[in-house]
Amino acid sequence: MTAIWDDELATVERDGTVSEPMVRQAARWLAARHAPGTGSRVLDVGSGPGCATVVLAEEFPGSEVVAVDPTEKFTARAAARFAERGLGERVRAEPGAIGDPSLAALAPADVVWCAHVVHHLPDPVAALRELSALLAPASGVLAVAEGGLPSRFLPGGYGVGLPSFVNRLEATLSDYFVETWSLTGAAVGGGRDWPLLFADAGLRHHASRTFLLDLPAPVSDDVRRHVVDRFTRIQRLIGDRLTSQDAAALARLLDPADSAALANRPDLFVLQATTWHLAGVDI
């Protein structure tokens, strides 16, 4: 699966930059509930290029913070980011992934942060067990960002295509990921929400909270580029799965010569809701 992300550095980095206000809200909530203090260790598992890792380093100023990701381009960029921010030896990037035996060498951790990773995996309960094994006994906290609400970027039906175009786009994309990554029903929601999956993994659910990324119109050029990137990727992944009408509607959103395009719409916004779930291991 690592190869999937090799060509996504710029897109993932832009996404991390745009999402930073929401991530900071979640990190502050976590730090207010669980402040492990000087000398503690925070792991960011599935860190990508380290955007959230920087936020964690700032919100846990006394902690050693380690970004962990299997993609070499991401860990290299994360290391460069930490150097640019002057974070020094307190923050570093390491190769690793859920399912990699080397991950265990980073235990024990007082906080394990894992955002938008577990749902990629065919056995989420096994992944949660592996993450829980990294926690410091009794006191460690696992913070998993999964779920929330579908993101929205334009009013109503986006002004293109047939009714419910956006809903069909999301459903087709979900089906693509289920098939491509051989996901189980549990991994994509199924009948069990994340607190129940925590219980299946032997974890005790502490709390869940949803945070908003609310960037109203007019948006900055970077935010607009982020949205265009997102829909360009959708077209690349599922363009051949769409009906002719929906494919044409998506093409309009990405055609810079079209007044309805994402690049031209003055009413473009970003509204995203992501839920963070906290859990620990009872000893």
Are 279 and 145 a contacting pair, CB within 8 Å? no
pLDDT along the chain (283 residues), means of 10: 62 94 98 88 97 97 96 96 92 96 95 93 92 94 94 92 91 89 59 86 96 98 96 96 97 98 98 97 72
Angle at 164 between CA 160 and CA 169, to 5 degrees: 80
User: Phi and psi at residue 133, in whole multiples of 5°?
Assistant: -70, -15
Query: Residue 123 belongs to what domain range?
Result: 2-280
Relative to beta strand 111-115, strand 91-95 is unpaired
Residue 174: the pLDDT is 87
CA dist., res. 120 & res. 46, Å (int): 11
Domain holding 97: CATH number? 3.40.50.150
Residue 8: the pLDDT is 80
Residue 7: the pLDDT is 63
Residue 76: the pLDDT is 96
Are 69 and 93 a contacting pair, CB within 8 Å? yes
Specify the pTM. 0.92
- How far CA 280 is from CA of 127, 133, 140, 174, 245, in Å, comes to 14, 10, 6, 30, 48
How many domains would you assign to the chain? 1
Residue 122: the pLDDT is 83
Residue 186: the pLDDT is 52
Residue 182: the pLDDT is 73
